[in-house]
């Protein structure tokens, strides 16, 4: 710190910036400032106003009115609950399954190379393509799943039109697409574990579960925590899948926080209210990241 | 060395900024110079240049330029790709930055919102009465808010109700017909007749005989709101904001109950059945006019015809209609010229071209008699519906919410998520919360 202060005194602040490594950070700072910090500050500002999209020159300060309205808005509450449900359905399964698949195909072999490519392929597809693909597969009349169910004598299922099924169906699609990327991260970590640890465990007579519990998991703990945080925050930010597949329906049963915020801003044109939801959502994500970090640190 | 590098960097930054700023100024100054001589009018449309509608706008714009000295019309095609994207995004951004073009296209149902925000120019103040009178009443009504006309179009749509004459005959239903054998508007079934015959069809077919899209989308307002309007029901009060007393009025509730009966009696499936009508799994279908082409080309063996939209109360027949309209914005520097351009973009030649290219109903009185496509039944029924039935879609700044709550109600009725009373109560609560922002 003293070194920096001395250099600032010597070259002046601008000189310090231009002559030091800080210059290399400038593009990143500019991008984050323009596309993240500035819009976020704008959203905070707008959240205290009645900004209506079609009347940009008629904005009034309304204090905490938008925030109190969120507390009373049952549709906002429903979308918060839905987002939490997505997290509950997706996060544990995605972390567990990506770990399971990574262990299965971690060893280098020709068969595993094929499976790695196969498992990773959904990830490179666009979310919209994946959504439309599953919409066709699960179509109640012509979808292959329902045709198959009918052949087996089961009743056809309305995967997207049934309020009791739609959220789970979308969760499954998100899970299916997202699993491969997490699997790669974990697989890379698995390949870094020295084989001598497993050899020593074999000599000691450890069984497969003991090797997993006392060697594998502790060795990849950091990567697992990373996956957990990324999947949790990513799941809270779901918007495209419910937008494309159900538009938040039926009866709002698949609407997420982001989709509700988007709807309020673009469809109802209530930028002030939509900004307030954004701020609450951002605070929620910060809180989750903080709690997760705290728990990991304590660990 | 570091000082030299620092100075060089500062020089590069300053030069870059200066270069940017200079180029902008040059463009601006040239614009100012041009604007003294040439009146530039910008038009934003939601359709691509290779669609019939997009081509039509380009052609009319060129004609307008040729007819006016020192006028340059630029048509920009910004394709509408969905909610919050493409055309709507661009329009919203332009409203925010105060950079609207002279002419825009907009869904006719959103005219009231734009007028409430003082974004549109009252065309009737600049166009002569004869010009306004040449349009169909339905178009003038749809483009008007209060006492003024804000948007126009050279064509319109009216959604047909398809029926399968073979299935009707096989089920023993006598198809209503006038002396020429046509099922005309005055022979439309009321709710009871519709229900009675639908039950006969159901018994004969052993499945839901009527196809409707029950999911929550803008389709509910477009295609199914006439069920309510034809029962003399309303969704919102005259101020466009009050829903209590309207959405739950006796007549509106009766219409919702009628819909409930359709779903509960197994007349309509509570979920979407793709191609049910084309595959003869439904004998009646509430679909868009574009299905005429689809059925003709893709299902040539299917015997189909059109029936009038069923109604609730005598004297209140209604039918779906509405499309994208053309409007002048308050941003224009040349209100009279811009209003004239709107009239030109939607003139009789435009109507003829759109009828020829896309099969749309001409929006000018004078062209109806000579219309080739709509002079004979069953297509004439669509024209009759457009001209002779009521069109009372709400003119409201909270239209998007009304569209959503109607969708919520119909979807809720279809899926039986709650009683009709509770669904309507929830809908009123949602709409009133939004309306409170405008009161």
A57–B98: do the CB atoms touch at under 8 Å? yes
b/e for A190-226, b at 16 or more Cβ within 10 A? beeeeeeeeeebeeeebeeeebeeebbeebbeebbbb
pLDDT confidence of residue B29: 41
Q: Which residues of A touch B6 (CB under 8 A)?
A: 14-15, 18-19
pLDDT confidence of residue B17: 42
The answer to whether position A47 is within a domain reads: no
**Which residue shows structure tokens 């310090």?**
A16
pLDDT confidence of residue A18: 65
B272–A140: do the CB atoms touch at under 8 Å? yes
The answer to whether position A18 is within a domain reads: no
Which residue from B minimizes the CA distance to A55?
Answer: B117
Q: Find out whether B79 and B86 touch, Cβ atoms under 8 Å.
A: yes
Please tell me whether residue B153 adopts helix, strand or coil conformation. Answer: coil
> How crowded is residue B338: how many other Cβ atoms within 10 Å of its Cβ?
26
Residue B366 buriedness (CB in 10 A; 0-12 / 13-18 / 19+): exposed
Q: Please give the DSSP secondary-structure letter assigned to residue B187.
A: G
pLDDT confidence of residue A129: 87
B240: distance to nearest CA of chain A, Å? Answer: 15
| Total number of domains constituting chain A | 1
Which one is predicted more confidently, A146 or B17?
Answer: A146
pLDDT confidence of residue A84: 94
Q: Which residues of B touch A56 (CB under 8 A)?
A: 95-98
Q: At what angle do helices B399-415 and B420-435 cross, to 10 degrees?
A: 160
Token representation of residue A208: 């497969």
Token representation of residue A11: 């070259």
B9–A56: do the CB atoms touch at under 8 Å? no
The answer to whether position A124 is within a domain reads: yes
Whether residue B85 is predicted with pLDDT greater than 80 in this model: the reply is: no
Q: Give just the sign of the alpha carbon dihedral B52, B218, A259, A174.
A: negative
Q: Is A10 in the B-facing interface, judged by CB distances under 8 Å?
A: no
List CB contacts of A264: < 8 A, sequence separation 6 or more.
A270, A273, A274, A277
CA dist., res. B159 & res. B309, Å (int): 9
Q: Which residues of B touch A52 (CB under 8 A)?
A: 117, 437
Whether residue B279 is predicted with pLDDT greater than 50 in this model: the reply is: yes
pLDDT confidence of residue A12: 75
A263: distance to nearest CA of chain B, Å? Answer: 8
A52–B10: do the CB atoms touch at under 8 Å? no
ipTM of this complex: 0.77
Which one is predicted more confidently, B12 or A45?
Answer: A45
Q: How far is CA B190 from the centre of its chain?
A: 25
The answer to whether position A36 is within a domain reads: no
Q: Give just the sign of the alpha carbon dihedral A270, A272, A273, A278.
A: positive
- In this complex, the residue of A19, A73, A163 whose CB is nearest that of residue B6 is A19
Pairing outcome for strands B161-163 and B324-328? unpaired
The answer to whether position A121 is within a domain reads: yes
pLDDT confidence of residue B28: 41
Q: Which residues of B touch A50 (CB under 8 A)?
A: 437
Whether residue B31 is predicted with pLDDT greater than 80 in this model: the reply is: no
pLDDT confidence of residue A255: 94
The answer to whether position A203 is within a domain reads: yes
B47-51, B391-395, B433-437: least confidently modelled range: B391-395
Looking at the structure, give the CATH architecture of the domain made up of residues B161-320+398-438. Answer: 3-Layer(aba) Sandwich (3.40)
List CB contacts of B394: < 8 A, sequence separation 6 or more.
B112, B234, B235, B236, B240, B402
B216–A250: do the CB atoms touch at under 8 Å? yes
Q: Give just the sign of the alpha carbon dihedral B192, B197, B200, B206.
A: negative
Q: How far is CA B338 from the centre of its chain?
A: 23
Token representation of residue B335: 């209100």
The answer to whether position A233 is within a domain reads: yes
Which residue from A minimizes the CA distance to B214?
Answer: A161
Pairing outcome for strands B144-145 and B210-211? unpaired
- In this complex, the residue of A54, A55, A142 whose CB is nearest that of residue B274 is A142
The answer to whether position A185 is within a domain reads: yes
B6: distance to nearest CA of chain A, Å? Answer: 6
- In this complex, the residue of A14, A19, A267 whose CB is nearest that of residue B83 is A267
Provide the residue range defining the domain that includes A171.
Answer: 73-298
A251–B408: do the CB atoms touch at under 8 Å? yes
pLDDT band (50, 70, 90) for residue B364: very high
pLDDT confidence of residue B271: 81
Q: Is B400 in the A-facing interface, judged by CB distances under 8 Å?
A: yes
Whether residue B23 is predicted with pLDDT greater than 50 in this model: the reply is: no
CA dist., res. B420 & res. B248, Å (int): 10
Of the residues B411, B423, B427, the best mutation for testing chain A's interface (the one with the most A CB atoms within 10 Å of its CB) is B411
Q: Which helix (H) or strand (E) holds B33?
A: helix B2-37
Q: For B207-323, where are the E strands, in sequence order?
A: 210-211, 284-286, 305-307
- For chain A of 299 residues, list the mean pLDDT of each consecutive stretch of 10: 71 70 82 91 94 89 94 92 94 92 82 81 85 88 86 86 91 91 89 90 90 90 87 90 88 92 90 95 88 71
- Residue A77 is part of a domain; what is its CATH number? 1.10.3720.10
Please tell me whether residue B390 adopts helix, strand or coil conformation. Answer: strand
Whether residue B393 is predicted with pLDDT greater than 70 in this model: the reply is: yes
Backbone phi, psi, residue B419, to 5°: -70, 160
Q: What is the mean pLDDT of residues B176-190?
A: 93
pLDDT band (50, 70, 90) for residue B24: very low
B415–A52: do the CB atoms touch at under 8 Å? no
A191-200, B76-85, B146-155, B195-204: least confidently modelled range: B76-85
pLDDT per residue as tens digits for the range B348-360: 999 999 988 888 8
B104: distance to nearest CA of chain A, Å? Answer: 14
Q: Mean of the per-residue pLDDT values for chain B? A: 87
B271–A158: do the CB atoms touch at under 8 Å? yes
Q: Is A270 in the B-facing interface, judged by CB distances under 8 Å?
A: yes
Size of interface A-B (CB pairs under 8 A): 86
Q: What is the mean pLDDT of residues B279-298?
A: 90
B83–A56: do the CB atoms touch at under 8 Å? no
Q: Which of residues 129-158 of A touch B (CB under 8 A)?
A: 139-142, 158
CATH superfamily of the domain spanning B38-157+322-388: Periplasmic binding protein-like II (3.40.190.10)
């Amino acid at each position: 710190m003293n070194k920096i202060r001395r250099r600032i005194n010597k070259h002046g602040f601008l000189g310090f910036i231009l002559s030091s490594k800080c210059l290399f950070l400038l593009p990143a700072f500019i991008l984050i400032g323009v596309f993240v910090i500035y819009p976020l500050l704008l959203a905070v500002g707008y959240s205290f106003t009645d900004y209506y999209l079609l009347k940009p020159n008629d904005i009034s300060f309304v204090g905490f009115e938008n925030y109190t309205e969120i507390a009373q808005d049952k549709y906002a509450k429903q979308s918060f609950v839905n987002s939490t449900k997505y997290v509950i359905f997706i996060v544990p399964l995605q972390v567990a399954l990506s770990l399971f698949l990574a262990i299965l195909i971690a060893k280098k072999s020709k068969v595993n190379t094929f499976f790695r490519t196969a498992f990773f392929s959904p990830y490179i597809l666009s979310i919209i393509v994946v959504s439309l693909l599953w919409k066709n597969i699960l179509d109640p009349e012509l979808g292959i799943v329902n045709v198959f169910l009918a052949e087996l004598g089961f009743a056809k299922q309305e995967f997207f039109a049934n309020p009791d099924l739609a959220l789970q169906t979308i969760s499954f699609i998100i899970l299916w697409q997202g699993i491969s990327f997490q699997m790669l991260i974990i697989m890379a970590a698995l390949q870094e574990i020295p084989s001598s640890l497993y050899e020593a465990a074999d000599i000691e007579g450890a069984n497969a579960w003991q090797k997993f519990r006392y060697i594998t998991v502790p060795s990849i703990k950091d990567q697992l925590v990373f996956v957990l945080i990324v999947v949790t925050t990513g799941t809270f930010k779901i918007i495209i899948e419910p937008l494309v597949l159900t538009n938040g329906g039926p009866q709002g049963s698949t609407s997420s926080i982001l989709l509700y915020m988007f709807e309020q801003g673009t469809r109802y044109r209530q930028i002030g209210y939509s900004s307030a939801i954004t701020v609450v959502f951002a605070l929620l994500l910060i809180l989750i990241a903080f709690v997760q970090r705290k728990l990991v640190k304590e660990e | 060395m570091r000082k030299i590098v620092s100075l060089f960097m500062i020089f590069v930054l300053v030069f870059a900024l200066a270069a940017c700023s200079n180029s902008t100024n040059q463009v601006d100054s040239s614009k100012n110079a041009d604007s003294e001589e040439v009146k530039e009018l910008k038009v934003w449309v939601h359709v691509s240049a290779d669609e019939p509608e997009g081509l039509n706008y380009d052609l009319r714009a060129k004609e307008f330029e040729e007819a006016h000295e020192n006028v340059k019309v630029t048509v920009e095609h910004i394709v509408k790709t969905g909610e919050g994207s493409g055309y709507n995004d661009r329009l919203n951004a332009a409203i925010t930055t105060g950079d609207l073009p002279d002419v825009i296209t907009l869904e006719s149902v959103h005219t009231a919102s734009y007028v409430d925000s003082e974004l549109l120019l009252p065309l009737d103040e600049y166009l002569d009465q004869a010009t306004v009178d040449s349009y169909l009443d339905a178009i003038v009504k749809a483009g008007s808010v209060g006492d003024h006309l804000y948007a126009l179009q050279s064509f319109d749509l009216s959604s047909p109700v398809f029926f399968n004459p073979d299935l009707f005959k096989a089920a023993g239903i006598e198809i209503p017909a006038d002396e020429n054998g046509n099922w005309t508007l005055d022979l439309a079934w009321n709710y009871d007749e519709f229900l009675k015959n639908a039950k006969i069809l159901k018994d004969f077919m052993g499945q839901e005989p009527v196809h409707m899209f029950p999911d929550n989308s803008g389709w509910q307002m477009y295609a199914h709101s006439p069920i309510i309007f034809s029962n003399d029901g309303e969704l919102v009060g005259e101020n466009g904001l009050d829903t209590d007393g309207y959405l739950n009025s006796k007549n509106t509730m009766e219409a919702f109950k009628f819909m409930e009966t359709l779903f509960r009696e197994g007349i309509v499936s509570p979920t979407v059945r793709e191609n049910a009508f084309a595959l003869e799994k439904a004998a009646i279908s509430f679909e868009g006019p574009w299905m005429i082409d689809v059925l003709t080309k893709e299902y040539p063996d299917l015997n189909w015809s059109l029936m009038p939209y069923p109604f609730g109360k005598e004297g209140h027949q209604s039918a779906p209609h509405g499309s994208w309209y053309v409007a002048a914005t308050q941003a224009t520097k040349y209100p009279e010229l811009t209003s004239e351009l709107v009239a030109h973009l939607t003139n009789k030649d435009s109507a003829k071209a759109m009828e020829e290219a896309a099969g749309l109903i001409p929006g000018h009185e004078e062209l109806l008699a000579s219309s080739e496509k709509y002079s004979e039944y069953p297509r004439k029924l669509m024209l009759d519906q457009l001209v002779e039935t009521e069109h009372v879609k709400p003119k409201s700044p909270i239209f998007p919410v009304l569209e959503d709550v109607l969708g919520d109600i119909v979807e809720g009725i279809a899926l039986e998520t709650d009683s009709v009373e509770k669904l309507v109560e929830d809908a009123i609560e949602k709409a009133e919360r939004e309306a409170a922002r405008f009161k």
